[in-house]
């Protein structure tokens, strides 16, 4: 199973709103993520920084492709624009994949 990590920034003063929106995440979005083979998804925060991690049951490329082709993901990204700064990879439409440099099993 491939692992995927991403980072983003919460706009100043918007962390509580970011958390509130994730507390009320759309069922349709969760369905897309599951269809993409995404499991064990968590998002971490320190200051204004976000770090996301998930495992890709069907591979990271498949997960990125499903998300890039999803209107629901596009709507979510639009919905989140006012609370966060998120760079997207133009090739995949997803957050740029971070490189894993250490793993302890």
**Mean pLDDT of all residues in 65-74:** 93
CA angle, corner 90, sides to 36 and 99, nearest 5?
Answer: 70
Sign of CA dihedral 68, 71, 10, 102: negative
In the chain, which residue ranges form alpha helices assigned H by DSSP? 15-23, 27-35, 60-68, 71-80
> Torsions phi, psi of 68, nearest 5?
-65, -30
Q: Which domains occur in the chain, in start order? A: 2-85 (3.30.70.100)
pTM (predicted TM-score):
0.88
**Residues designated as active site:** 22
pLDDT in the model for residue 51: 95
Average pLDDT score over residue span 8-26 = 97
Which pLDDT band, with edges at 50, 70 and 90, does 69 fall under? very high
Residue 21: phi and psi, rounded to 5, are -65, -35
């Amino acid at each position: 199973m491939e692992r995927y990590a991403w980072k983003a920034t919460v706009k100043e003063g918007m962390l509580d709103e970011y958390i509130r929106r994730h507390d009320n995440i759309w069922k349709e979005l969760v369905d897309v993520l599951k269809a993409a083979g995404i499991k064990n998804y968590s998002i971490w925060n320190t200051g204004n920084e976000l770090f996301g991690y998930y495992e890709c049951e069907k591979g990271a490329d498949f997960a990125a492709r499903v998300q890039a082709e999803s209107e629901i993901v596009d709507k979510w990204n639009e919905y989140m624009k006012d609370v966060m700064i998120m760079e997207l990879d133009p090739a995949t439409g997803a957050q740029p994949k971070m490189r894993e440099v250490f793993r302890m099993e």
